[in-house]
Amino acid sequence: MAARKSGFFVGAVAGAGVACAALAGVGMRMGPAGAAEPAQVVRTSGVAGNPAPMFAPPPGAPMSFADIFEQVSPAVVQIDVTSKAAAAPKLRIPGLEGFDIVPKGQKGDDGEEAPGPKQQSSGSGFFISADGYLVTNNHVVADADDDGINVVMKDGRELKATIVGRDEGTDLAVLKVVDPKAKGAAFPYVNFENQAKPRVGDWVITIGNPFGLGGTATAGIISAYNRDLGDSSSTFVDYIQIDAPINRGNSGGPSFDIYGRVIGVNTAIFSPTGGSVGIGFAIPADVAENTAKQLIAGGKVVRGYIGAQIQPFTKEMAEAQGLGDVKGAIVADLVAGGPAQKGGLMPEDVITAVNGVAIKSGSELTREVAKGRPGDTLKLSVLRGGKPRTVEIKSGVRPTEKELALNDDDSDEGGADAPTKPQIQKSEALGMSLAPIDDAARRTYSIDPAVKGVLIDGVKTNSDAGEKGLRKGDVLTSVNGDPVTSAAQVNAAVDAAKKLQRPSVNLRIIRAGRPTIVPLKIAP
């Protein structure tokens, strides 16, 4: 899975603690901020020759957000979560091997588990229906005990809630109040706004539970749309960036427009310090509403899936194929027997559109595919060998993020204990030492028998290949889409690209069973 960008933080929020042992609170996803715009200064009457300054809102600004807060705040709640604390390691006594001190909550040699410490944390949420359904972040409640979720309302009432469904893909969860004390009660709730999309620069007000303080309002503006946080949740979410302060414990709370309509669910901040620096992110209302409806209906979110490993189609890749400024996503590999393979998609195909919707990145492709229901026919516009064609694929069901992560293994096989490889003939190309793949190489680097190509047996550090991260043990299977099994074929493909005055070539590389497309510059 994609690694998180430095500066983004995720967690269950504010006030985390452990019985008998104080633990630091884990905050919401967070990560420098520009200087604030100066307030408008209006000169009014004062001492003669030295009028006193008075601050007034600029034209178009509301005089106060109080009416909005009074209108919507009863629907916003504090969510208190009880969960097991992280298990401590067994303690061994030097000189008394076989005798372990087993911390509470862990199983000893008799298999019995002693009661362990509990962790308390808090987040935010809001009612979306009168019968008690609430929306919050998945990371707020993901580790909650079975009976460990309390909802604290604005009037001070504490009610038990249970999880209806969670979605790791968007970091959203739906809860429902199940407390007998609330039987027959009608809860105050708010609505998602999906029609009138606010503009960048429009006002926004957020309400939540920062640092466990309870209902707190902050205000600011929408700073940008379509932000990518660089983690797995960004696969399905184009975040709204806002400058209204949000902090630890605001996770899962709503952002409102000036009419009191929910435009997003606060989920992350960007900060070099762990605290708010004025850059926050919210899940757009349309994504949140659609996810909530599916969770309420079936307890999970079902997404379309084609079974292809994809990468962004970079400018350098496009230049290598003479495709100019073409945007899209390139296929690195296909899941054996998956929908894409059955539909005729091939490695190194460049996907430029799905059902007529233009694709500019791998994330956009995944989102468009995910919108399809299982069984739907997806029409993919692709470039194969530079020539356009249409590939029709019947959508499957996307596995869970956990299931996909199990197959995301970038480990480096082989190592110091790998069998010694006999000397074989090597050749040079693009700053790499290339050799045939023999049985010893397959054992040394765990290369599947079905993989055909040429072994990268060494890489010059100062070469483009070295800078792009290629290394000994990688397998080169094709150059610009043409299969290669020898260094001679690699050099021939490079020479052909030179004659076409291409600045680079695209290499398909397999490492630890996982393919990727890497563009390499051709030395002049």
Alpha-carbon distance of 431 to 425, in angstroms, equals 16
Backbone angles phi, psi at 361, to 5 degrees: -160, 165
Q: Which residue has 């929910």 as its token pair?
A: 262
Alpha-carbon distance of 297 to 291, in angstroms, equals 10
Return the bridge partners of 241, or none: 224, 281
341: DSSP letter: H
Tokens of 198: 């606010």
Coil, helix or strand at residue 344: coil
Backbone angles phi, psi at 215, to 5 degrees: -50, 115
Contact 255, 249 (CB under 8 A): no
Alpha-carbon distance of 283 to 263, in angstroms, equals 8
Beta strands in 285-376 (DSSP E): 304-305, 308-312, 329-334, 350-354, 357-358
First-residue to last-residue Cα distance in the chain: 36
Return the bridge partners of 434, or none: 427, 456
Q: What angle do CA 282, 283, 287 make, to 5 degrees?
A: 160
Choosing from 232, 251, 271, 363, which is the catalytic residue? 251
Q: Are strands 149-152 and 158-167 parallel, antiparallel or unpaired?
A: antiparallel
Tokens of 269: 């901040």
Question: For this structure, is 171 an active site residue?
Answer: yes
Alpha-carbon distance of 224 to 243, in angstroms, equals 10
Tokens of 270: 């960007």
Alpha-carbon distance of 482 to 508, in angstroms, equals 10
Contact 348, 517 (CB under 8 A): yes
Choosing from 139, 231, 478, 504, which is the catalytic residue? 139
Alpha-carbon distance of 475 to 437, in angstroms, equals 8
Choosing from 171, 243, 333, 349, which is the catalytic residue? 171
Question: For this structure, is 276 an active site residue?
Answer: no
Question: For this structure, is 482 an active site residue?
Answer: no
Contact 168, 154 (CB under 8 A): no
Coil, helix or strand at residue 309: strand
Tokens of 509: 């590389």
Closest CA to 185 of 286, 296, 74: 74
Question: What residues are labeled active site?
Answer: 139, 171, 251
